[in-house]
Amino acid sequence: MIPEKLKYHLHTHPAALPQDAVKFCYQAAYGGGHLITDPVRVAQYLAAERAGLTQNPAMPLTEPLGRGLVRLNLTSPEAASLSDSAILRVFSSGAAHVLAREDNDTAFVQALDQLTSLAKSGGTPFSADALAAYLDVYRAEGCPMVSHTPEYRAAYTPSYRVIEEQYVPFLPLIDRIDALLTSHPDRCVTVAIDGHAASGKTTCTALLSALYDCNVFHMDDYFLPFDRKTPERLAEPGGNVDYERFRAEVLDSILAGKPVVHAAFDCQSGTLLPPKTEGIKPLSIVEGSYAHHPYFGDAYDLRVAIDIDADTQRSRILARNGERMLAMFESRWIPMEHRYFDAHHIFENADMIL
């Protein structure tokens, strides 16, 4: 995916020279791992850099590099609203992930070859001869990490960090969680992620759990036991989840500052699986439909609701679960969720909607 991203970047940055194009290829292959050797210094450098920046209303939040990476532009209005800690968190995590890949060297060699082909076809703002001359010297030096040229800096004033693209939609949420952790250093912060089926609740939670030292609890583990599925209970919006057991096992323990001993309900056998114990962590995330049930009161520091349009929801469920399960979702589970959302004003009462 690097060639198209590289071609677009050079088209939109006509002042780029061969060195700037090589830097683009290097970052697409290696990310920003060369900058995370000293976390304290990295934080100090970011704070100093941001203190001297002027916000640029025309600057996009991100620019694509390829291989799942983007440049997060620090002068964009959206980035200006983010804390240093949130930016450092996603930057450091992404850098570590890229360093762990085994194909970085191959990707870089291929990117340089693709850059050469692009130059020969006239798709770069510099000549193929100029690029070839630069690459001869660059390769002789061992292909080091390079900086932007003075010409590029004068034209575009680049100020960015390389991050994984998958975190971009969740940056405001990450920023809110960081603020809560800073405000409440002596207790567990609780975040509940509710929303429509196939909206991305599990994906969001997985990304957050890769960033934070946290416990994750799934509402899917708390479906109502068979013997309690009475007509009266199932007629209750949100009544198909065992919110009483979830409150007693999970939320009450978190609020009391105690380890959580919890057991998942196995829908196949209709029994509880062996209990597990989760130690005390700075952050606990509750994920799944019915996570915002009013029975839980004010147990959460942050309520997040994830929305999705009907067409995208249907296509995701079909791809994930197949035709037979799609029919079950559409005839039963999605209507039950909608009754719950409407009756308890889940989206209206959320602190953040994604």
Q: Based on the fold, state whether residues 258 and 349 are members of the same structural domain.
A: yes
For residue 250, the model assigns a pLDDT of 98
Helix axes 128-140, 104-120, angle to 10 degrees: 150
Q: Based on the fold, state whether residues 344 and 310 are members of the same structural domain.
A: yes
Q: Based on the fold, state whether residues 211 and 301 are members of the same structural domain.
A: yes
Q: Which residues, including other chains, have CB under 8 Å from residue 61's CB and lie 6 or more apart?
A: 72, 73, 76, 78, 79, 168
Tell me which H or E stretch contains 98: helix 84-99
Amino acid at 70: V
Burial class (CB in 10 A: 0-12, 13-18, 19+), 90: buried
Token digits of residue 150: 């003075």
Q: Based on the fold, state whether residues 75 and 116 are members of the same structural domain.
A: yes
Amino acid at 197: A
Assigned domain for 178 exists: no
Contact (CB, 8 A) for 351 and 304: yes
> Domain ends where: 138, 168, 198?
168
Tell me which H or E stretch contains 105: helix 104-120
> Domain ends where: 126, 144, 168?
168
> Domain ends where: 142, 168, 194?
168
Q: Based on the fold, state whether residues 302 and 159 are members of the same structural domain.
A: no
What is the count of structural domains for the chain? 2
Assigned domain for 193 exists: yes
Coil, strand or helix at 331: helix
Q: Based on the fold, state whether residues 193 and 336 are members of the same structural domain.
A: yes
Assigned domain for 229 exists: yes
Helix axes 104-120, 18-30, angle to 10 degrees: 150
**Sheet-wide strand order for 62-66:** 62-66, 69-73, 160-164
CATH number where 271 lies:
3.40.50.300
Report d(CA 321, CA 240) in Å as an integer.
21
Show the DSSP H helices in the chain as ranges. Answer: 2-12, 18-30, 39-51, 77-80, 84-99, 104-120, 128-140, 150-156, 171-183, 201-211, 231-234, 243-246, 252-255, 310-328, 334-344, 346-349
Q: Based on the fold, state whether residues 13 and 96 are members of the same structural domain.
A: yes
Structural domain span for residue 305: 184-353
Assigned domain for 296 exists: yes
Burial class (CB in 10 A: 0-12, 13-18, 19+), 220: middle
pTM: 0.94
A 10 A CB-CB count for 340 gives: 21
Q: What are the 10-residue block averages of pLDDT along the chain, 354 residues in total?
A: 87 97 96 76 94 95 96 97 96 89 94 97 97 98 96 97 97 98 97 97 97 97 95 96 98 98 94 97 98 98 98 96 94 96 98 98
For residue 38, the model assigns a pLDDT of 81
Q: Based on the fold, state whether residues 279 and 154 are members of the same structural domain.
A: no
Q: Based on the fold, state whether residues 107 and 198 are members of the same structural domain.
A: no
Assigned domain for 179 exists: no
Contact (CB, 8 A) for 208 and 285: yes
Would you give the end-to-end CA distance of the chain in angstroms? 27
Assigned domain for 175 exists: no
Report d(CA 220, CA 217) in Å as an integer.
9
Report d(CA 1, CA 124) in Å as an integer.
17
Phi/psi of residue 161, each to 5°? -130, 145
Which of 216, 239, 243 has its CA nearest to residue 339? Answer: 239
Q: SS in 3 state form for 226-291?
A: HHHCCHHHHCCCCCCECHHHHHHHHHHHHHCCCCEEECCEECCCCEECCCEEECCCCEEEEECCCC
Helix axes 84-99, 39-51, angle to 10 degrees: 130
Q: What is the torsion angle, in degrees rounded to the nearest 10, for the CA atoms of residue 321, residue 325, residue 327 and residue 328?
A: -130
Q: Based on the fold, state whether residues 193 and 291 are members of the same structural domain.
A: yes
For residue 99, the model assigns a pLDDT of 84
Amino acid at 211: L
Tell me which H or E stretch contains 63: strand 62-66
For residue 172, the model assigns a pLDDT of 97
Contact (CB, 8 A) for 92 and 45: no
For residue 150, the model assigns a pLDDT of 98
For residue 1, the model assigns a pLDDT of 52
Q: Based on the fold, state whether residues 188 and 146 are members of the same structural domain.
A: no
Report d(CA 117, CA 49) in Å as an integer.
36
Q: Based on the fold, state whether residues 118 and 203 are members of the same structural domain.
A: no
Contact (CB, 8 A) for 158 and 250: no
Token digits of residue 344: 């308890």
Assigned domain for 177 exists: no
